Structure 1
């Protein structure tokens, strides 16, 4: 079992990191999320978020969504293969309850796990 930390190594930090994911992604989605996934060479998962103001107007809501995504990723990262992920959201996500957001993320983590076997 892996650690449950979410530290600097668990994040996509530079525009270059994001670009690698945008260049050759596998797409996974739900009604409110699009997650781009690329295998990486390290044995670590890394998470990046691109949550546009256009999709979620209020900073409070954008931050809430980011917190939920980070927490869900932190709890599930040990189940995922070595991938870089960029999470993007669709309009209307700010209307969802936290529980609904978590359920959508859980489903996507399972899908990623099935398709990206180690």
Structure 2
């Protein structure tokens, strides 16, 4: 189930990249992996900031870990697979809504985290 969601989001971001840049280089594969790992890392960083203060090398290692995981899960997918992957309008709307809600929640929790930091220092 998780793999299917990751593939759907990967196909969504890949199709977005391919729409603007129609070249068949390997960049179409790198763009969604970086975007997906960035989204995961921002969410994890925010959650971890409420629990403990992680070091910069821990965060760097965790970011590298997520890049490796997403790259490993997606590396067998080819350009034609992305082009032919069916994404309905409903799925696109759900992905965009989840991303918007995620950005809003991260923004609110970031303000709360900042206020806690200011109040304690």
Same fold (TM over 0.5): no
Structure with greater helix share of residues: 2
When the two structures are superposed, what TM-score results if normalisation uses the length of structure 2?
Answer: 0.32
When the two structures are superposed, what TM-score results if normalisation uses the length of structure 1?
Answer: 0.33
Structure with greater strand share of residues: 1
